[in-house]
Every structure is written in C-alpha cells, then in structure tokens.
C-alpha cells in the first residue's frame, strides 16, 4: 500500500478510505470546548452540568476542562459566587 504523503507510516491493511485518528492523549482528557488537554476533573452537580455542558451532548455526557467550566458558570451568575474544592484524589 502506498502511504506517501498520508502522514502515517503504517496504514492498516484492511483500511481502504480516508484515515482519521484522534489525538493520542497519554494522561488526561481533551476539553470538548477549547481542545485543551487537562488532568483534573471537576465533579459538579448534575443540574449545573446540564446548563454548561458542551453543545449537543446527551444528558450527563461531555468533557470540559476546569477553565471552561468556570467560564461557563460565570456566564450563569450575575454577581460574585464561590465554590469549594473539597479534595483532590
Ligand atoms: Zn476547555
């Protein structure tokens, strides 16, 4: 198989079309809003998550980095608010 210009050294022999491989993330997740790789999950109340989750995701689904979570929450509030980080595991 000719792989010239494909960017991939080893195209699977069973593959016949355009090859699409997502980014390899060795340790962490990729934010579905900004694309940033992150290593800390923020566990937030389900009802709040439904208001800020990435567009088009089903109930309870989606991945956001801490920065995008905070930005989304800031858009929901009119005044100052505070959240407490209870622990890092
Ligand atoms: Zn993000």
Domain ranges of the chain: 1-89
CA of 53 to the centre of ligand 1 (A): 11
pLDDT of residue 89: 66
Measured CA to CA, the distance from residue 53 to residue 61 in angstroms comes to 8
CA of 21 to the centre of ligand 1 (A): 21
Which parts of the chain are beta strand (E)? Answer: 29-30, 37-38
Burial of 61 (0-12, 13-18, 19+ CB in 10 A): exposed
**In the structure, what pLDDT confidence band is assigned to residue 9 with cuts at 50, 70 and 90?**
very low
- pLDDT per residue as tens digits for the range 20-63: 444 545 678 999 999 999 998 888 889 999 999 999 999 999 99
CA of 37 to the centre of ligand 1 (A): 8
CA of 52 to the centre of ligand 1 (A): 12
State pTM to two decimals.
0.65
CA of 1 to the centre of ligand 1 (A): 39
């Amino acid at each position: 198989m000719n792989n010239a210009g494909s960017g991939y050294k080893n195209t699977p022999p069973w593959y016949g079309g355009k090859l699409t491989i997502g980014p390899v993330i060795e340790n962490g997740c990729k934010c579905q809003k900004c694309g940033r790789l992150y290593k800390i999950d923020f566990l937030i109340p389900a009802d709040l998550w439904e208001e800020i989750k990435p567009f088009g995701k089903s109930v309870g689904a989606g991945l956001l980095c801490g920065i995008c979570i905070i930005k989304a929450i800031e858009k929901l509030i009119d005044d100052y608010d505070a959240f407490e980080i209870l622990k890092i595991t």
